[in-house]
């Protein structure tokens, strides 16, 4: 009996040493094929064989020396299925719900361990997750919500920077939409105001300027879902925080907006005019008192906001027309052969003033907008004057040349007449 107990204790110690050694591979070396994989790959049931194959093919953990037992427990060297999954081996089976978070966190929240593999990577994903809507719902016992594996995958996990990873920057929106665009899965969830959680965010996002920048412009810095909602701590930005969220990229606009009267009034700040998921490319038509302008949603004929909107739009249109006119003057002079390099640079400067005015107007104060636009108009006036001078110079050159040509041709005719009048000696 004592011998049996001693044998079991010894076996337990050996197993513990084996699991610990496997839990923290010393070097980033691909793990050897385990008994778990050998057995699972041969299973007829795809639910059992696919994880083993995916893990062997692409998984970043396997590439760094981790194996099945690091997440599932069990004895990886035991060929007997029953013995390999015996309770004494610490076998956990397929983790679900909070267990997924715990399994991932055992390494990803361990600063000492993570330093060996990805020293710059954060280790607070699990803590962040707990603050997310997903995490809070899970804590309430809702197992339909996303956990780590929902976004990163369970077997065949790739690095975030891998273009085939579901959380690669260009794939994030599609990954989120797998659940958030599914009305059946989203049924029962509501917004803070009690209305049903919409499922059209992805469709709207694909029509937005941000999506166009990322997909058509190949700008990987363009925002996707997690840039505004957070990733592990995903939640809608709260009322009052939207300007801060947009301001992480649109810094100057956010600064100007913070100075405006609107910042105190707009509950959804930027979203009030620009919407959220379906953010269209901004245009000057959004400003003013026309039907297409967003200002008239709140402002009526005669109020100060209405007047300010009309004034700012009018001045912007004035500078646009002035730039357009200056462009045609410069083009005409260039076509006539005049060097207009400095005027072309000045034209860009005038366009910069227009851009600056469009930024300034987010403070919704006509005075600074007008000041910037006046600078632009002064530049275009100078370009026009220089363009007119260039065209006058060209006219002067043409007149001068016409006179010179006439003089040259006169000399040619005179020479011809002189040559004809010259006496020729008799033939020799």
Residue 184 binds to other proteins (criterion: CB under 8 A): no
Pick the closer one to other proteins by CB: 121 or 395.
395
Torsion of CA 46, 93, 152, 277, to 10 degrees: 100
By the rule CB under 8 A, 419 interacts with other proteins: yes
**Do residues 360 and 372 make contact, with C-beta atoms less than 8 angstroms apart?**
yes
| Binds other proteins by CB under 8 A, chosen from 161, 192, 302, 425 | 425
Q: Which of 59-67, 111-119, 144-152, 403-411 is the region at the interface with other proteins (rule: CB under 8 A)?
A: 403-411
Alpha-helical regions (H) of 24-97: 35-41, 46-58, 60-63, 69-72, 81-84
Residue (96 or 411) nearer to other proteins, CB: 411
144 to each of 48, 129, 248, how far by Cα in Å? Answer: 22, 15, 32
Nearest to 25 by CA among 69, 72, 85, 91: 69
- Geometric angle at alpha carbon 257, from 223 and 309, rounded to 5°: 110
Does the protein bind other proteins through residue 399 (CB under 8 A)? Answer: no
Tell me the Ramachandran region of residue 187: left when phi exceeds 0, alpha when psi lies from -120 to 50, beta otherwise: beta
Nearer Cβ to other proteins (87/341)? 341
Dist. CA 222–CA 207, nearest whole Å: 14
Does 398 bind other proteins (CB under 8 A)? Our answer is yes
C-alpha–C-alpha distance, residues 259 and 365, integer Å: 9
Stretch that binds other proteins, among 47-55, 64-72, 191-199, 395-403 (CB under 8 A): 395-403
Only segment of 113-121, 279-287, 359-367, 414-422 that touches other proteins (CB under 8 A): 414-422
Record the tokens describing residue 99, joined without a space.
């267990």
Q: Of the candidates 276, 278, 260, 279, which has an alpha carbon nearest to the alpha carbon of residue 268?
A: 276
Minimum Å distance from CB 218 to other proteins?
Answer: 16
Closest to other proteins by CB, 15 vs 394, is 394
Residue 408 binds other proteins, judged by CB under 8 A: yes
Nearer to other proteins, 140 or 428 (CB): 428
Give me the torsion for CA of 80, 81, 83, 84, rounded to 10°.
100
- The nearer residue to other proteins, 261 or 385, going by C-beta atoms, is 385
Q: Which is nearer to other proteins, 17 or 413 (CB)?
A: 413
User: Under 8 Å CB-to-CB from 86, ≥6 apart: which residues?
Assistant: 75
In this complex, which beta carbon is closest to other proteins, that of residue 192 or of residue 341? 341
Check residue 392 for interaction with other proteins (CB under 8 A). no
Q: Which stretch binds other proteins (CB under 8 A): 78-86, 92-100, 220-228, 399-407?
A: 399-407
Rounded distance between C-alpha atoms, residue 126 and residue 332, angstroms: 65
Q: Should residue 409 be labelled a site residue for other proteins when binding is judged by CB under 8 A?
A: yes
Provide the minimum distance between the beta carbon of 344 and other proteins in the complex, in angstroms, as a whole number.
11
Binding residues for other proteins, rule CB under 8 A, total 23
* Continuous H helices in 59-97: 60-63, 69-72, 81-84
Residue 415 in the binding site for other proteins (CB under 8 A): yes
Closest CB to other proteins among 239 and 408? 408
Q: Read off the tokens for 196.
A: 């049903």
Question: Min. distance of Cβ 384 from other proteins in angstroms?
Answer: 17
| Whole-angstrom distance, CA of residue 229 vs CA of residue 307 | 36
At its nearest, how many Å lie between other proteins and the CB of residue 423? 9
Under the criterion CB under 8 A, does residue 144 sit at the interface with other proteins? Answer: no
405 binds other proteins (CB under 8 A): yes
The answer to whether 376 touches 329, Cβ cutoff 8 Å, is no
CA atoms of 179 and 133, how far apart (whole Å): 14
Binding mask 309-348 for other proteins (x = CB under 8 A): ----------------------------xxx-xx------
CB of 35 to other proteins, least distance (A): 57
CB 235 within 8 A of CB 135: no
- Which residues pair with residue 190 across a beta bridge? 196
Measured on CA atoms in the order 224, 225, 229, 231, is the torsion positive or negative? negative
Interaction site with other proteins (CB under 8 A): 337-339, 341-342, 397-398, 401, 404-405, 408-409, 411-412, 415-416, 418-419, 422, 424-425, 427-428
């Amino acid at each position: 009996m004592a011998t049996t107990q001693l044998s079991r204790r010894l076996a337990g110690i050996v197993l513990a040493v084996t699991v610990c050694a496997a839990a923290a591979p010393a070097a980033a070396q691909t793990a050897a094929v385990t008994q778990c994989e050998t057995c699972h790959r041969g299973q007829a049931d795809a639910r059992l064989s696919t994880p083993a194959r995916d893990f062997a093919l692409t998984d970043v953990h396997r590439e760094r020396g981790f194996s099945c037992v690091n997440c599932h427990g069990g004895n990886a060297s035991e060929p007997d299925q029953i013995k390999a999954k015996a309770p004494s081996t610490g076998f956990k089976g397929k983790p679900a719900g909070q267990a997924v978070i715990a399994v991932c966190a055992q390494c990803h929240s361990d600063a000492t361990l993570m330093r060996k593999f990805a020293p710059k990577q954060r280790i607070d994903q699990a803590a962040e997750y707990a603050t997310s809507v997903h995490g809070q719902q899970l804590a309430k016992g809702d197992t339909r919500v996303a956990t780590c594996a929902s976004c990163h995958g369970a077997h065949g996990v790739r690095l975030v920077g891998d273009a085939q990873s579901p959380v690669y920057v260009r794939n994030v929106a599609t990954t989120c939409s797998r659940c958030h665009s599914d009305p059946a899965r989203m049924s029962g969830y509501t917004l803070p105001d009690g209305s049903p959680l919409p499922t059209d965010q992805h469709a709207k996002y694909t029509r937005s300027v941000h999506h166009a920048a990322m997909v058509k412009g190949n700008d990987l810095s363009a925002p996707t879902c997690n840039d505004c909602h957070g990733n592990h701590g995903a939640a809608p930005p709260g009322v009052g925080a939207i300007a801060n969220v947009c301001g992480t990229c649109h810094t100057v606009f956010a600064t100007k907006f913070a100075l405006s009267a609107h910042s105190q009034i707009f509950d959804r700040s930027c979203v009030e005019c620009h919407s959220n998921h379906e953010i269209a490319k901004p245009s000057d038509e959004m400003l003013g008192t026309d039907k297409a302008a967003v200002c008239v949603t709140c402002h009526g004929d005669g109020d100060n906001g209405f007047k300010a909107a009309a004034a700012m739009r009018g001045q912007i249109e004035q500078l646009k027309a002035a730039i357009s006119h200056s462009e045609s003057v410069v083009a005409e002079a260039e076509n006539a052969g005049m060097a207009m390099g400095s005027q072309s640079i000045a034209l860009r400067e005038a366009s910069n003033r227009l851009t600056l005015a469009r930024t300034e107007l987010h403070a919704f104060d006509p005075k600074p907008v007008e000041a910037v636009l006046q600078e632009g108009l002064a530049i275009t006036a100078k370009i026009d004057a220089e363009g007119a001078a260039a065209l006058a110079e060209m006219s002067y050159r043409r007149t001068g040349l016409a006179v010179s040509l006439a003089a040259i041709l006169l000399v040619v005719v005179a020479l011809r007449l002189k040559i004809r009048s010259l006496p020729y000696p008799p033939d020799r």
